[in-house]
Amino acid sequence: MAKEPTILVSACLLGVNCDYKGGNRLNQKVLDFVKDKNFIPVCPEIYGGQSTPRPGAEINGGQGDRVLIGEVKVVEPDGTDVSGEFIKGAQEVLQIAKLTGATLAILKAKSPSCGHGKTYDGNFSRTLVEGNGVLAALLLQNGIKVMTEEDL
Ligand code: SF4
């Protein structure tokens, strides 16, 4: 029998306390969707070497694909550049995707790593713009379908 494709899931959506405040974003719809499927929790910000809790970061301009090519940075509120950590974390998740043959990722909406379609604009004013987080952008570039919990 063919192996079922793996689904990557933002670990915070599954109740893992890895978000920047040290909490989680447990989502029942996500749990219900994956419970009978082959899934792997992932947290790119932790894989990038960041701690929990940590300062909430945003992408200058909100577009993760521009971070990946070095055009813009991911910054913390005090201006600290964490682009390297975000890129490393995304690359580690891509490695997991390749190892497991993942074809779909269900990621946390609006996050500078995991967001898909909309992210915050980098001014720390809760303003959303069109764009993907750094991980979402990298997965899309590698042919992996990305959804958020809001799409379920
Ligand atoms: Fe959740 Fe993604 Fe943020 Fe990790 S990086 S806490 S998985 S939104």
Going by the DSSP 8-state scheme, the letter that residue 13 receives in this structure is: G
If you average pLDDT over every residue of the chain, what do you get? 97
C-alpha distances in angstroms, 9 versus 38, 44, 80, 141, 147? 10, 11, 28, 18, 10
Task: Give me the percent of the chain exceeding a pLDDT of 70.
Answer: 99
State the pLDDT at residue 98: 97
Evaluate the CA torsion angle 8, 57, 51, 68 in order and state its sign: positive
What pTM does this model have? Answer: 0.97
pLDDT per residue over 83-135, tens digit each?
999 999 999 999 999 999 999 999 999 999 999 999 999 999 999 999 999 99
Going by the DSSP 8-state scheme, the letter that residue 120 receives in this structure is: E
Which residue ranges have their beta carbon within 6 Å of ligand 1?
10-12, 18-19, 43-45, 108, 111, 113-114
The number of the ligand 1 atom at minimal distance from the alpha carbon of 52 is 6
pLDDT per residue over 131-152, tens digit each?
999 999 999 999 999 999 999 9
